[in-house]
Structures are given as C-alpha cells and as structure tokens.
C-alpha cells in the first residue's frame, strides 16, 4: 500500500472515530440528565486492550466513577468504535446506558459488598438492576426524541 493510500485510510479512520465519539458524547449529555447526573464531569478514554466479561462476552466499555467529585471516566474498548461505524449502534447505545446507570447502582453494590460475604450474588443483582434501569432509560429517550434514537 502506498503512503498516499495509507494517509487516506488513516484520515478516514480518524473521521469515523470522531463521528462515533461525537455521537457517544451526545448520548451521555442527554442520558445523564435523565438519570440526574448532569452535574458529573465525563471523560472518554480509548482503551487499547479488549477484555472479556466473566461470562465470556466481549466488553464494549466500562465506567469508572470518582466519588464524591462527581467525575466519571468511560473507557471505550477497541470493539466500540467499529460497532458505531458498522451501524451496530443498538448494542453500543445499550452498553453506554448500562454503564451510565452504574452511577446510580454502584452505591448499593459498594455498601452490600462491605456487609455480605457473597460478592458474586451482589454483583449479579447489581448487574441485573443496572440492565433493567438502562432498558427503562432507553425507552424514555426513544419516547422523548424518536428521530435521534431510531437506530
């Protein structure tokens, strides 16, 4: 591949990445208001390694909260941007909403883990609750703005 072709491909990849990140930031802005986290400072980080979950599923992203400072870092794993570019936004949206909902459920998880010995049980309950909240949030967002959230 010639240098000119490599440069074109690199520019295209950068443009696609910028579009995906812009879309993700829009979703964060809108969804964080719906769950009462509009005062959080969010930053995105592009991870270089692709982890898998305990159940073998590919991790799309994770959120790391810095409390009490109302800051959250959303780490996008390498599969996230290609999902956006391939038109697979539904999985990306649900992953993002799920991670944002952790801002509400992590307090329960943290308190429970400190008091109970069955960390796996608490983690499973926390993940289930977070999934339920993120599905509800998706419905709210699609009702409020059907054009934007029609994927």
The pLDDT value recorded for residue 8 is: 64
Is the pLDDT assigned to residue 29 strictly greater than 70?
Answer: yes
- Kind and range of the H or E element at 115? helix 89-115
> Residue 93 burial by CB count (10 A; 0-12/13-18/19+): exposed, middle or buried?
buried
The pLDDT value recorded for residue 9 is: 64
How large is the angle between the packed helices 119-144 and 3-34, nearest 10 degrees?
90
Neighbours of 115 (CB within 10 A): 7
- pLDDT tens digits, residue range 32-84? 998 889 999 999 999 999 998 888 888 999 999 997 899 999 999 999 999 99
Distance of CA 43 to the CA centre of its chain: 11
Cross-strand partners of 22: none
Cross-strand partners of 42: 72
Average pLDDT, the chain: 87
Confidence band, pLDDT 50/70/90 cuts, at residue 6: low
Is the pLDDT assigned to residue 96 strictly greater than 90?
Answer: yes
Domain boundaries, the chain: 3-144
Across the range 82-101, mean pLDDT stands at: 93
Confidence band, pLDDT 50/70/90 cuts, at residue 117: low
The pLDDT value recorded for residue 89 is: 92
Strand extents, DSSP E, 3-108: 41-46, 61-66, 71-76
The pLDDT value recorded for residue 71 is: 96
Of 5 and 39, more confident: 39
The pLDDT value recorded for residue 148 is: 79
Task: Extract the tokens encoding 91.
Answer: 């999985």
The whole-angstrom separation of Cα 11 and Cα 141 is 33
Task: Extract the tokens encoding 127.
Answer: 């993940």
Is the pLDDT assigned to residue 140 strictly greater than 80?
Answer: yes
Cross-strand partners of 63: 74
Of 127 and 73, more confident: 73
């Amino acid at each position: 591949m010639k240098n000119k072709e490599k440069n074109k491909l690199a520019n295209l990849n950068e443009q696609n990445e910028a579009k995906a990140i812009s879309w993700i930031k829009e979703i964060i802005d809108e969804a964080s208001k719906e769950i009462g986290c509009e005062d959080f400072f969010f930053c995105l980080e592009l991870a270089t390694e692709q982890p898998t979950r305990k159940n073998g599923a590919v991790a799309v992203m994770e959120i790391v909260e810095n409390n009490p400072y109302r800051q959250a870092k959303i780490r996008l794993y390498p599969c996230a941007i290609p999902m956006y570019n391939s038109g697979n936004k539904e999985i990306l949206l649900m992953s993002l909403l799920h991670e944002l909902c952790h801002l509400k459920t992590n307090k329960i998880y943290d308190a429970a883990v400190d008091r109970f010995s069955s960390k796996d049980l608490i983690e499973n309950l926390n993940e289930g609750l977070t999934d339920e909240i993120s599905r509800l949030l998706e419905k709210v967002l699609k009702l409020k703005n059907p054009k934007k959230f029609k994927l």
